[in-house]
Chains A and B, each alone.
Chain A
Amino acid sequence: SQQGEEDPQALSIQEGENATMNCSYKTSINNLQWYRQNSGRGLVHLILIRSNEREKHSGRLRVTLDTSKKSSSLLITASRAADTASYFCATDAGNRDDKIIFGKGTRLHILP
C-alpha cells in the first residue's frame, strides 16, 4: 500500500524554470523524506524534514511540510537537465521502526 501520493504524476518544464512537486499522505508521521531516482538506478536520498519542521533547504531544493494538511512540497529552483528523474516522497507512518512507505512518484523532465 502507498502512504504518499505525489502530484503531478508527470511534469515537463524548460531548463532554468522552477519545478514544484507535491505529496499528500494519510496518517501521522515522524518525518517525511524526498528521494530521486534516475532511470535504471536506485533511489538517492535528497532531504528529510521532521514533523516539527515547516521548511528545509538544501542547495537548490526547498521542502515544506504542513502536518495539518498532511502534505509536503518539493521545489527545485533553476532546473537543469540533470534534474530529469523521478521524485518520490516517503513517510514513516508514525512508526518507531525504520520502515518507510513510498508514494508513486512524479516523473520530471527538464527540456533543453
Chain B
Amino acid sequence: GAGVSQSPRYKVAKRGQDVALRCDPISGHVSLFWYQQALGQGPEFLTYFQNEAQLDKSGLPSDRFFAERPEGSVSTLKIQRTQQEDSAVYLCASSSPSTRQPQHFGDGTRLSIL
C-alpha cells in the first residue's frame, strides 16, 4: 500500500513569505507527527495529532508555526513570516493505533529560505 506522502519535496521561499507543507499519512493511521531535521542532526519533534486533535505542540519553535489536521487524515504545517533559521527538512510520520509504534515516515520537504 501507499506510504506517507509529503508535498512539495522541495520548497524555496523568500524570507518573510508564508509556506504550507502537506502530509498524507498512511490510510487508517490515527497518529501523525511532524519533525524538523537540520543538516547532520536527528529529527526534532514539533507536534503530534491523534485523529484531528493536536495533543502535543510543545516542539513548535514559535507562534509562526501552526499545524492542523481538520478531518483526521491529511495534515498541513504552516510557517508564517519565514526566517532563514526555518531552513530544514520537515518530516511527517504516522503510526497505527494498534501498534502505536513504529512510526512510518515520508521523505520530507526540504525547505530553503533565501
Contacts and interface: CB of A to CB of B under 8 A. Distances in A.
Q: Do A and B bind each other?
A: yes
Interface of A: 2, 4, 31, 33, 35, 40-45, 48, 88, 92, 97-105
Nearest to B99: A48
A42 B42 contact: no
B64 interface: no
B101 A42 contact: no
B56 A40 contact: no
Given A33-B101, A33-B102, A97 B43 contact: no
B101 A103 contact: no
Contacts of B50: 98
A11 B95 CA distance: 30
A103 B101 CA distance: 17
Contacts of B31: 98
Contacts of A42: 4, 91, 93, 105-108
A101 B45 CA distance: 7
Nearest to A88: B42
B41 interface: yes
Given A97-B55, A98-B100, A102-B42, 4 more contacts: A42-B107, A98-B103, A99-B33, A103-B42
Interface residues of B, number: 26
A99 B48 contact: yes
Interface of B: 4, 31, 33, 35, 40-45, 48, 50, 55-56, 91, 93, 95, 100-108
Contacts of B106: 42
Question: Nearest 6 A-B pairs (CB), nearest first?
Answer: A42-B105, A45-B102, A102-B42, A43-B105, A42-B107, A104-B42
A4 B43 CA distance: 11
A105 B39 CA distance: 11
A34 B56 CA distance: 23
Contacts of A102: 35, 42-45
Most chain-B CB neighbours within 10 Å: which of A43, A48, A88? A43
B105 A44 contact: yes
Contacts of A35: 102
